[in-house]
């Protein structure tokens, strides 16, 4: 049975001292991990918590950069489990 690996996007709340681009939130892909936190910090977010990503346009939301190659992302997306 072929089952694609699922990943969800989440957001970190950006606190006082964050850059203007990351004034409110930083979006990441996958799980809440040390690496994702570091990517958001590198983007200018002073992480102060986690939250669902807002959909309203009045929030500033930056993105954590993906540092994986396209082939690595495709491989992770189509990962299979044999049951």
Residue 30 region, left (φ>0) first, then alpha (ψ -120 to 50), else beta? left
pLDDT value, residue 29: 87
Give residue 4's pLDDT.
Answer: 43
- Looking at residue 83, its pLDDT comes to 40
Q: What is the pLDDT of residue 75?
A: 62
Residue 11 has pLDDT above 60, yes or no: yes
What is the pTM assigned to this prediction? 0.68
Radius of gyration (Cα) for the chain, nearest Å?
A: 15
Q: Which tens digits make up the pLDDT trace of 34-81?
A: 999 999 999 999 999 999 999 888 999 998 865 555 555 566 556 544
C-alpha 67/C-alpha 42 separation (Å) is: 12
């Amino acid at each position: 049975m072929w089952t694609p690996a699922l990943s969800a996007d989440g957001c970190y709340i950006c606190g006082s001292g964050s850059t203007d681009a990351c004034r409110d939130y930083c979006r990441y892909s996958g799980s809440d991990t040390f690496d994702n936190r570091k990517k958001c910090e590198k983007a200018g977010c002073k992480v102060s918590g986690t939250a669902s990503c807002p959909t309203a346009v009045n929030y500033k939301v930056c993105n954590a950069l993906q540092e994986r190659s396209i082939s690595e992302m495709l491989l992770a997306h189509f990962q299979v489990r044999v049951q």
